[in-house]
Amino acid sequence: MTRDTKFVQQESVQIRQVERIRIWILTDNYYDALRADHAVAKRYRVSPGQSLHAEHGLAYFLETVIDGKTSACMFDFGLDPRGVMNNAKLLKIDLGSADAFVLSHGHFDHWTGAQEILRQNTWSKTRGMQFYVGEEAFLHRYSRRTGTDELMDIGQLDRQAIQESGARVTEVKTPTQIIPGCYCTGTIERVTEYENVPPGLLVERDGKIGTDDFRGEQALFVNVRGKGLVVLSGCAHAGIVNTVKQAQRVAGIRKVHAILGGFHLINAKPEIIQNTVADIKEIAPKFVAPAHCTGFEAIIAFSRAMPEEFILNTAGTQYTFSES
Q: Pick the more confident residue, 117 or 285.
A: 285
- Residue 9: which pLDDT band, with cuts at 50, 70 and 90? very low
Spatial separation of the C-alpha atoms in residues 257 and 55, rounded to whole Å: 27
Q: Pick the more confident residue, 199 or 155.
A: 155
Residue 207 has pLDDT above 90, yes or no: yes
Spatial separation of the C-alpha atoms in residues 8 and 11, rounded to whole Å: 9
Segments making up each domain of the chain, as ranges: 17-322
Spatial separation of the C-alpha atoms in residues 208 and 67, rounded to whole Å: 50
Are the beta carbons of 240 and 299 closer than 8 angstroms? no
**What value does the mean pLDDT take over residues 245-252?**
96
**Cβ-proximal residues to 49 (8 Å cutoff; 6+ apart), any chain:** none
Model pLDDT, residue 241? 98
Model pLDDT, residue 238? 97
What SS3 string covers the chain? CECCCCCCCCCCCCCCEECEEEEEEEECCCCCCCCCCCCCEECCCCECCECCCCCCCCEEEEEEEECCEEEEEEEEECCCHHHHHHHHHHCCCCHHHCCEEECCCCCHHHHHHHHHHHHHCCHHHHHCCEEEEECCCCCCEEEECCCCCCEEECCCCCHHHHHHCCCEEEEECCCEEEECCEEECCCCCCCECCCCCCCCEEEEECCEEEECCCCCCCCEEEEECCCEEEEEECCCCCCHHHHHHHHHHHHCCCCEEEEEEECCCCCCCHHHHHHHHHHHHHHCCCEEEEEHHHCHHHHHHHHHHCCCCECCCCCCCEEEEECC
Model pLDDT, residue 46? 85
Instruction: Summarize pLDDT for 260-308 with one digit per residue, the tens.
Output: 999 999 999 999 999 999 999 999 999 999 999 999 999 999 999 999 9
**What value does the mean pLDDT take over residues 157-176?**
93
Residue 38 has pLDDT above 50, yes or no: yes
Model pLDDT, residue 168? 92
Share of the chain above pLDDT 70, in %: 94
Residue 4 has pLDDT above 60, yes or no: no
Model pLDDT, residue 3? 46
**Phi (first) and psi of residue 220, to 5 degrees:** -115, 155
Are the beta carbons of 142 and 204 closer than 8 angstroms? yes
Are the beta carbons of 8 and 254 closer than 8 angstroms? no
- Residue 126: which pLDDT band, with cuts at 50, 70 and 90? low
Residue 22 has pLDDT above 90, yes or no: yes
Kindly report which listed range (32-36, 107-111, 229-233) carries the lowest average pLDDT score. 32-36
Share of the chain above pLDDT 90, in %: 83
**What value does the mean pLDDT take over residues 116-131?**
74
- Rounded to the nearest integer, the mean pLDDT of the chain is 93
Q: What is the pTM of this model?
A: 0.94
Q: Is 181 exposed, middle or buried (0-12, 13-18, 19+ CB in 10 A)?
A: buried
What CATH code would you report for 17-322? Answer: 3.60.15.10
Residue 50 has pLDDT above 90, yes or no: no
Model pLDDT, residue 8? 38
82 Rama sector, left if φ>0, alpha if ψ -120 to 50, beta otherwise: alpha
